[in-house]
Amino acid sequence: MSQSSLNGKVAIVTASTDGIGLATAQALGMRGAHVVVSSRCQANVDKAVALLRTHNIQVTGTTCNVGKGEDREKLIQMTLDQCGGIDILVSNAAVKSSFGNILDSTEDDWDKVLSLNVKSAFLLTKLVVPHMEKRGGGNIVFVSSLAAYQPIQGLGPYCVSKTALLGLTRVLAPELAQSNIRVNCVAPGLIKTRSSSALWENEAIMDEFKKQLSIKRIGQVEEIGGVVAFLCSEEASYITGETIMASGGMGCRL
């Protein structure tokens, strides 16, 4: 079996019926994992399951609002019942804050964004860890953003929530290493999805963007799915507590 194979692994990917989540489910599934896809809408789940099956991917789907405790528990229980265990969690679901200056953001804005983007990611982690331990280890990947490092003007609380995921990755990694669970993070730059269409459909904005990019094009969802799959594979067996930026060279760090 190759080092990148995920044969026999069970992978939960949240918000995985579209965009980066769906591409991640596909990347994990193409490497042999049984993927569990979810989103808040049953029709979208059905569509994603059907699509992944056309690629011969083993897939199970359910609805899950990651902000609801009972939905998180249902997702885990369904995975255990149908797949017999959990090896991989990719926490991809996120909401954006209302657009505006950070000093105009409200308590509701902060509660919504931090609760969904950070707290739910942690609470899901807490639910999967005992099951990963039963399998002798596992992998957790958080989907952050380039905005964690380089704020997007007008989306202050969202950017802060994405920076918090870098911290969550670092705090969890040493604690979970003793259980043979690696915890990593991916920080995408501008990726072509429905939610980023306001940016890539605007030629003037894209021209400005390209000035900051080394690779002079928008990223594709597969280019994030592949990074996540790498992090979950044996090829990344010595990587934990790390964030991989996949941003076409924008916002490069030392």
Ligand X SMILES: NC(=O)c1ccc[n+]([C@@H]2O[C@H](COP(=O)([O-])OP(=O)(O)OC[C@H]3O[C@@H](n4cnc5c(N)ncnc54)[C@H](O)[C@@H]3O)[C@@H](O)[C@H]2O)c1
Any idea which residue has 């990719």 for tokens? Answer: 90
Q: How far is the CB of 219 from ligand X (least distance, A)?
A: 7
* 158 classed as catalytic: yes
**The one catalytic residue among 158, 159, 186, 224:** 158
Q: How far is the CB of 93 from ligand X (least distance, A)?
A: 4
Strand bridging mode 59-63 / 34-39: parallel
In the complex with ligand X, the residue whose CB is nearer, 57 or 218, is 218
In the complex with ligand X, the residue whose CB is nearer, 15 or 36, is 15
Extract the tokens encoding 15.
Answer: 């918000």
- Closest residue to ligand X, judged by C-beta, is 19
Contacts 24+ apart (CB under 8 A), 63-67: 63/38, 63/39, 64/14, 64/38, 64/39, 64/40, 65/40, 66/14, 66/15, 66/91, 66/93, 66/116, 66/120, 66/121, 66/124, 67/115, 67/116, 67/120
Q: How far is the CB of 43 from ligand X (least distance, A)?
A: 13
Q: How far is the CB of 205 from ligand X (least distance, A)?
A: 12
In the complex with ligand X, the residue whose CB is nearer, 61 or 188, is 188
In the complex with ligand X, the residue whose CB is nearer, 32 or 251, is 251
Handedness of CA 129, 131, 133, 139 (dihedral sign): negative
Task: Give yes or no for a contact between 185 and 245, defined as CB atoms under 8 angstroms apart.
Answer: no
Interaction site with ligand X (CB under 6 A): 14-15, 18-21, 39-40, 65-67, 92-95, 116, 143, 145, 188, 190-191, 193, 195-196
Nearest Cα neighbor of 224 from 250, 251, 194, 248 is: 248
Catalytic residue positions, numbered: 158
